[in-house]
């Protein structure tokens, strides 16, 4: 995964743990990082319907909360029938 950004400039991976420091400068709930603008400021791009695809991985509660934030911005869930701007993978 770490080699992806160097091979494809439009792909990036950023870890933002909610409790422990990890060297990225981002720590805290992803919902807070999205709503206060820290996430987008850190990576230098904004999450937009026309140019973004977000992959959400984690527990169902976090995914539900982030989906609401993304949908407020006009992003839609990706499916085979209707391409969208975010995908999910839930851990139970």
pLDDT in tens, 12-53: 677 777 777 767 678 888 999 999 999 899 888 899 999 999
Q: Tokens in use for 55? A: 């992959």
Computed over every residue of the chain, the mean pLDDT equals 84
DSSP-assigned beta bridge partners for residue 59 = 91
Closest to 77 (Cα-Cα) out of 66, 67, 69? 67
Domain around 13 = 4-91
pLDDT in tens, 52-83: 999 998 889 999 999 999 999 999 999 999 99
CB 21 within 8 A of CB 54: no
- The CATH number of whichever domain residue 18 belongs to comes to 3.40.50.80
How many domains does one find in the chain?
Answer: 1
């Amino acid at each position: 995964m770490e080699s992806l950004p160097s091979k494809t400039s439009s792909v990036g991976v950023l870890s933002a743990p909610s409790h422990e420091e990890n060297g990225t400068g981002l720590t805290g709930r992803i919902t807070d990082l999205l709503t206060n603008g820290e996430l987008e400021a850190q990576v230098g791009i904004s999450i937009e319907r026309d140019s973004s695809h977000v992959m959400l991985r984690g527990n169902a509660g976090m995914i539900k909360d982030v989906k609401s934030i993304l949908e407020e911005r006009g992003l839609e869930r990706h499916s085979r029938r209707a391409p969208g701007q975010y995908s999910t993978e839930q851990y139970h």
